[in-house]
Structure 1
C-alpha cells in the first residue's frame, strides 16, 4: 500500500510567507541628484579669471586648469581621492572668488561613473556654481599638446 502525502497546506504556507515578505520589505528607492540648469536667455559668459575647467579623462584621471584653453594654461593632473580634486575644489584660490565657476568636461574615454563622481564632489565640497560643458577642440588640442590625450 502506498502513502499519499497532501502538499496543499505546504504550498499555501509558502505563498503566504512569500506574500508577507514581499509586502513588508522596503524596496530600493532610486537615487536622484538635483541639478539646476540655467536658462539660455540672459546668461552671461564666464570670465577666464573665474573659470576652473575640469576634464574627465580615461582611467579615472582628472585634468584641470584655471581659465580657458585659448590662453594655454598649465594643465595639472589629479584623481578622485580626498587629496586630489577635492583639495582643488576646497582651495583658497577657488573659495576666495565668489564668482568662480567650475566647468566640467568629459572626454570620450571617460566613464559615466566619473561624471557621477565629479558631481558628488561638487555636492561634498558645496560648490554652488558648476556647469556640464562639451569638450571643445581647444581643450583636446591642449591635452594632446601636454601629452595627456
Structure 2
C-alpha cells in the first residue's frame, strides 16, 4: 500500500519562516506485480494454441517399382483454377469442374460423386494427381482433403508433363500414339 512521510512536530518561531520539508511518499508495488502475474498465468492457461495441420505421407524407397494394371489407374490433371481433367487407363481425358459456380470454397458435388463412384466400382483404384504450373496449390490441397474425407488412401502425386498438356488439348491423337508404342 501507500505510505506518507510527515515531518515530526510543528515548528514555531524562526523555524516557521524557513521552508518546510517536502513531504515524501512511497508506493508499495508488490500487489500490482502480484495482479500482473496472476493475469499472465490466467491467460497462459486458458488460451488454446493452434496446432499445425499436418498429414502423414508415406514415400516409397527410390528403387521400388510397383506395377499396376492400366484399368486400376485414374489420372487426375489439375490444369488451372477450377478446371480439371480425369481419365482411367488410356481413355481420353474428360473435363470436370473442380468447384461449383455458386460456391468457390467447396469442391463440386460432381467431383465428389465421381470419386465415390469410381472407388466403389474398383477397390484397387490408384489416383495419380498431376498439377499444372498454372494451377494453384490450393486446388491440390482441396483435392487431398477430399480424398481424406472419402477415405481414399491410394493416391500419388506426379509431374505435369508436355504429354499431359497434349492429352488435354487433343485427346484423340495421344490415345492413338500410345497404342502404337
Q: How many residues are paired up? A: 142
**Aligned 1:26-105 pairs, distance under 5 A:** 26-68=48-90, 73-80=92-99, 81-91=107-117, 93-105=118-130
Residue 131 of structure 1: SS of its match in structure 2? strand
Residues 27-49 of structure 1: per-residue CA shift (max 9 Å, x gap): 11111111222333342233321
Structure 2 portions without partners, runs of 5+: 1-24, 100-106, 172-181
Aligned position for 2:47: 25
* RMSD (Å), alpha carbons: 2.8
Point out the structure with max Rg over C-alpha. Answer: 2
Stretches of structure 1 lacking an aligned partner (at least 5 in a row): none
Match of 2:160 among 119, 124, 135: 135
Length-normalised TM-score, structure 2:
0.65
Whole-angstrom distance in 2 between the partners of 1:143 and 1:5: 82
Q: Helix, strand or coil: the match of 2:43? A: helix
Please give the alpha-carbon distance, in whole angstroms, between the structure 2 residues aligned to 1:28 and 1:49: 42
Is residue 63–residue 75 contact of structure 1 (8 Å, CA) maintained in 2? yes
Matched residue, 1:120 = 145
* Contact kept in structure 2, 1:65 and 1:76, CA below 8 Å: no
Give runs of ≥4 in structure 1 deviating > 6 Å.
none
Q: Secondary structure at the match of 2:109?
A: coil
Once the two structures are TM-superposed, the CA of residue 10 in structure 1 deviates from its matched residue by 4.3
TM-score by length of 1: 0.76
Higher relative contact order (CA 8 A, sep 6+): 1
Task: Give distance in 2, aligned partners of 1:94 and 1:54.
Answer: 14
